[in-house]
């Protein structure tokens, strides 16, 4: 009997065999020597209640999940909570994972959903104080009160509608491809591209007073 | 300035946008394990999330709203009576009332979780203007309504609501810009009693209703 025929997820399960991506502190994804694992088998073990396999699966994917959550929230506690929520949901629903796509793709879809909902909730709670802050910003001298470019940029990113912000941060900050973003968000590649373009246009508009900085 | 120039500028400028710290893998894993353990041991009620049940929930919610509105109208009306036509067989099954109750409770727990997460983040971030439109009072009112409902059957939920009442009451009484130390104590209490974790575990115990409700 061949290895693939006896695979716990069936004869096509060898397609699940991929390299565990290790996220380095500098944000690049590198290959860890000797870390080839058969993720299909790992998932099958998790389904059987193997705690060690759960931990292994978690460790293979937690860095990228946490990084995305942190980039989008800028808050360690929130990023931790959103990451935890992602994995709790993923383990609870592992029975629904059919192996048609890579586990990382499936997990990313859960993560983006959890983070997106989290961002919207936060925005709702902060809406009022945010509006008050905006209103107070309108008074006083404009240029003298302006924060520096990076602060203004950070604020402009936070001001983006949640979906644009997700796409912008995933693509321009974390380096995801449009294919990865669209599969995670359940949209078309064209939608992801259009949203990124709109996000950039909005940022450009928000930073128009700094035009000299990037034109030089 | 061209689009390309702006994109190049953005690429460089966002490199350190919300730069993630070292990923707290072990801490998050411990919480995930704890939450999953709590979720497994929680008494689970099987819900039939079939279309008729969703319809029934909608009907019941409308009925509750209708009765509420009817009561208000009744006060101002002169001698008029509000007649509500209901299929008695739908009201005869007490478990349907439980489903509605749990759905409302789940939505409330989700909102409370988001609020407490934000509150903790604000306090840790040194913000003391959290009482601008403090939602704690509103959440406290709903908590008390849920505590007093005859539909409450789950002892764990009751205990959690008691805990929330205490925490929300303390937050609702905080004075803006004056009670920084008190706020810190409330935050510590939230952590020591694992309030957020228990909120999440309670929500995890009813995944079907989570789908109906459309919350995290």
Separation CA A28–CA A185 (nearest Å): 22
State the nearest Cα–Cα gap between B167 and chain A, in angstroms: 18
Separation CA B206–CA B199 (nearest Å): 12
Burial class of A181 by CB neighbour count within 10 A (0 to 12, 13 to 18, 19+):
buried
Residue of B nearest to A75 (CA): B121
Contact between B20 and A122 using a beta-carbon 8 Å cutoff = no
Q: Is the ipTM of this complex over 0.90?
A: no
Q: Running DSSP on this structure, what letter comes out for residue A176? A: -
Give the pLDDT score at B145. Answer: 84
Contact between A66 and B20 using a beta-carbon 8 Å cutoff = yes
Indicate the pLDDT class of residue A25, thresholds 50, 70 and 90: very low
The residue written with tokens 């870390």 in the block is A35
- Strand, helix or coil for residue A154: helix
Reply yes or no on whether the pLDDT at B75 is more than 50: no
Which pTM value belongs to this model? 0.54
Reply yes or no on whether the pLDDT at A19 is more than 50: no
Separation CA B171–CA A207 (nearest Å): 38
For residue A122, which residues of chain B lie inside 8 Å, CB to CB?
114, 118
Residues 188-207 of A with CB under 8 A from B: 200, 203-204
The residue written with tokens 């246009």 in the block is A201
Give the pLDDT score at A141. Answer: 37
For residue A151, which residues of chain B lie inside 8 Å, CB to CB?
none
Give the pLDDT score at B134. Answer: 66
Q: What is the pLDDT of residues B17-39, one digit of tens each?
A: 999 999 999 999 999 988 888 77
Nearest to B61 by CA among B109, B108, B104, B95: B104
Torsion of CA B84, B87, B88, B92, to 10 degrees: -120
Nearest to B115 by CA among A138, A196, A122: A122
Q: What is the pLDDT of residues A160-184, one digit of tens each?
A: 988 999 999 999 999 999 999 999 9
Separation CA B136–CA B129 (nearest Å): 14
Q: What is the pLDDT of residues A32-64, one digit of tens each?
A: 333 445 888 899 999 888 989 999 999 999 999
State the nearest Cα–Cα gap between A102 and chain B, in angstroms: 22
Reply yes or no on whether the pLDDT at A80 is more than 60: yes
What are the backbone angles phi and psi of residue A23, rounded to the nearest 5°? Answer: -90, 120
Separation CA B23–CA B76 (nearest Å): 60
CA dihedral sign of residues A133, A139, A145, A146 = positive
**Cβ neighbours for B158, distance < 8 A, ≥ 6 positions apart:** B147, B152
Separation CA B208–CA B44 (nearest Å): 11
Taking residues B87-116, report their average pLDDT. Answer: 72
Separation CA B34–CA B36 (nearest Å): 5
What is the pLDDT of chain A when averaged over all its residues? Answer: 76
Indicate the pLDDT class of residue B214, thresholds 50, 70 and 90: very low
What are the backbone angles phi and psi of residue A12, rounded to the nearest 5°? Answer: -90, 5
């Amino acid at each position: 009997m061949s290895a693939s025929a006896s695979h716990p997820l069936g004869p096509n399960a060898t397609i699940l065999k991929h390299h565990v991506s290790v996220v380095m502190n500098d944000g690049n994804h590198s290959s860890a020597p000797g870390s080839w694992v058969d993720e299909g088998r790992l998932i099958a073990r998790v389904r059987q209640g193997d705690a060690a396999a759960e931990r292994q699966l978690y460790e293979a994917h937690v860095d990228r999940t946490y990084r995305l959550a942190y980039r989008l929230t800028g808050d360690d506690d929130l990023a931790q909570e959103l990451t935890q929520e992602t994995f709790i949901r993923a383990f609870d629903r592992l029975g629904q994972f059919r192996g048609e796509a890579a586990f990382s793709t499936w997990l990313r879809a859960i993560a983006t959903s959890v983070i997106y909902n989290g961002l919207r909730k936060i925005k709702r709670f902060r809406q009022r104080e945010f509006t008050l802050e905006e209103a107070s910003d309108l008074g006083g001298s404009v240029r003298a009160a302006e924060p520096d470019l990076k602060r203004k940029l950070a604020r402009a990113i936070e001001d983006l509608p949640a979906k644009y912000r997700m796409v912008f941060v995933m693509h321009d900050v974390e380096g995801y491809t449009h294919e990865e973003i669209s599969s995670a968000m359940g949209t078309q590649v064209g939608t992801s591209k259009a949203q990124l373009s709109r996000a950039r246009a909005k940022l450009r508009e928000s930073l128009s007073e700094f035009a000299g900085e990037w034109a030089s | 300035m061209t689009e390309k120039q702006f994109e190049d500028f953005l690429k460089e400028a966002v490199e350190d946008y919300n730069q993630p710290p070292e990923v707290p893998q072990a801490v998050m894993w411990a919480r995930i394990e704890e939450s999953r353990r709590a979720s497994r041991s929680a008494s689970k009620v099987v819900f039939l999330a079939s279309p008729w049940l969703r319809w029934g929930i909608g009907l019941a919610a409308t009925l509750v709203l209708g009765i509420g509105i009817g009561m208000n109208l009744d006060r101002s009306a002169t001698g008029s009576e509000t007649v509500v036509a209901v299929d008695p067989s739908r009201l005869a099954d007490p478990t349907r009332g439980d489903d509605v109750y749990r759905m409302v409770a789940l939505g409330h727990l989700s909102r409370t979780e988001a609020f407490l997460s934000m509150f903790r983040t604000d306090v840790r971030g040194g913000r003391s203007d959290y009482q601008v439109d403090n939602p704690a009072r509103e959440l406290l009112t709903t908590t008390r309504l849920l505590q007093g409902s005859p539909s409450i059957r789950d002892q764990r939920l009751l205990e959690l609501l008691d805990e929330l009442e205490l925490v929300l009451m303390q937050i609702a009484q905080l004075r803006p810009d004056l009670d920084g130390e008190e706020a810190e104590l409330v935050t510590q209490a939230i952590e020591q009693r694992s309030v957020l974790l228990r909120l999440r575990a309670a929500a995890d115990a009813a995944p079907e209703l989570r789908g109906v409700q459309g919350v995290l």
